[in-house]
Structure formats: C-alpha cells, structure tokens
Amino acid sequence: MRASKGDRLVQHGRVVGQHDQVSEVVEVMGAEGNPPYRVRFADGHEAVMSPGPDCQVKHKDEGVTPDAGGDRDPRL
C-alpha cells in the first residue's frame, strides 16, 4: 500500500451496518509512500495509522465515490 499527502484512506466497515470511514493523508511517515500515515478525519481529529487489509487508498486524482459512506466531509 502506497499513499501520498492528500490521498484518502477508506477504512471499510467490518460488521453489517457499520459505515466506511474516510480520512485524508496529511503526512506520509514511511519511506517511499509506505505506512504509517498521519491522517485527519472529518471531525478534525488526527491519528497515526498503519492500514490493514480493510483499508483502501483513493489517490487524489481518483476521488471518493458517493457510495463510500461513512462520515465524509465535503472539504476532504
């Protein structure tokens, strides 16, 4: 998994009814785009993540589709 600043991380819900969570990569802390990443969520809080198999990178030129669900912020 490789990401760049400005990309989105989509963490898919693991149980029925749980929405996907979308966050923006604000810093790549690993070498050559590898994790860990500092991400910012729609509510403004930040976290350091090493995404697992339930995550997907949406590169900034791809955008996030409307069916991504979750707490999306239109500013992201």
Q: For the chain, what are the domain ranges?
A: 8-60
Across residues 1-5, what is the average pLDDT?
91
pLDDT at 19 over 90: no
Sheet of 8-11, strand order: 46-49, 37-41, 21-28, 8-11, 55-58
pTM beyond cutoff 0.85: no
Query: How is residue 75 annotated by DSSP?
Result: T
What percent of the chain shows pLDDT beyond 90? 59
pLDDT at 63 over 80: no
Contact predicate 9/53, CB 8 Å: no
